[in-house]
A and B are shown apart, each in its own frame.
Chain A
């Protein structure tokens, strides 16, 4: 079973719709992240959370919101989707426990391909 899962894997929606992307992890990590990836722009950080009570904006948070429902779950919402939010979205996790690998390495989910028409 995958350690970091994302649902849905693909989604096509219309402008103005509210969309929620979900991320779950079984790695026991305390830190979770949401990125978007666009051709030629690389991975850009949307929001991140270092523990359940800690939520922080990344470099491109406008138009997005997040919820950290539990240590293992981190959801990304688009309140009113627009076409330039069409992208590949990745969730990632990291942790500082001895079991977490070399110093806070981030591990990525499989991605959600979102298309906004």
Chain B
């Protein structure tokens, strides 16, 4: 079966660093995606990992460990506009479909 777990909600302070974790179980893994979604808006692509290690893109970084079925999204120098939901999604190797987690709602306070 397939299962993706991520925390439901997190809070952080402007200027701080926050790490959003995602664990997954899948029968065939072919990449992990992170999306950002502001309330009522479309998800927008943030990052993609298919090999173990850290991918850095500006203030956002994403890490993957395939052996542990684990990823995290790291947000640095938090800004108020980073308040949003962050969706972890795994692509299944056999079907090429994306399986989404339920998302982590991040609130950034001044």
- Chain B associates with chain A: yes
B residues touching A (Cβ–Cβ < 8 Å)? 31, 33, 40-45, 48, 50, 87, 89, 91, 96-98, 100-103
- Report the minimal beta-carbon distance from A77 to chain B, rounded to whole angstroms: 21
Contact in complex: B45, A107 (CB < 8 Å): yes
Alpha-carbon gap, A107 to B31, bound state (A): 16
| A41 CB within 8 Å of chain B | yes
Find residues 61-105 in chain A having any chain B CB closer than 8 Å to their own CB. Answer: 88, 90, 101-105
Chain A residue, CB-CB nearest to B85: A42
Taking the complex as formed, is A16 at the interface, i.e. its CB lies under 8 A from any CB of chain B?
no
Q: Are B98 and A106 in contact (CB under 8 A)?
A: yes
Give 8 closest A-B pairs by Cβ, nearest first.
Answer: A42-B102, A108-B42, A43-B100, A102-B48, A42-B100, A108-B43, A110-B42, A105-B45
Contacts of B103 on A, CB cut-off 8 Å? 42
Q: List B contacts of A109 (CB < 8 A).
A: 42
A and B contact pairs by CB, cutoff 8 A, 11 listed: A41-B102, A42-B101, A43-B89, A58-B97, A90-B42, A90-B43, A105-B33, A106-B33, A106-B45, A106-B98, A113-B40
Q: How far, in angstroms, from A102 to B33 measured CA to CA in the complex? A: 10
